[in-house]
Amino acid sequence: MSQHQHAPLPLEKLEGVPQPVVSLIAALLEKDPQKRFQTPAELLKFIPTMASAIDEGQNLTRQNLAQRAVSRPHRFS
């Protein structure tokens, strides 16, 4: 269990995938639940931002995505 919690994600295997998509995947797989999107609606709100970043050739960092997820109130279903 400890190895799973501390092992880095194998994101290098996503060669050829646009960087904003890789950052989004990393955020979705974040080990700290507070750093993930808390609802599907939050994720859906972010999709246009990611699409714009891809279209404009901009990078999105994991930290930016995590901050965006954390900045929203935590909801439990």
pLDDT in tens, 20-73: 888 888 888 888 888 888 899 988 888 888 888 899 888 887 666 655 555 544
Classify 65 as helix, strand or coil. helix
Q: What token pair was written down for 22?
A: 């890789």
- Token look-up 């995938």 returns 17
Q: Is residue 77's pLDDT more than 50?
A: no
2 near 38, Cβ under 8 Å?
no
Q: Look at 14-18, 52-56, 72-76 and tell me which has the smallest mean pLDDT.
A: 72-76
How far apart CA 37 and CA 56 sit, in angstroms, is: 24
pLDDT at 15 over 80: yes
According to the model, what pLDDT value does residue 25 have?
A: 84
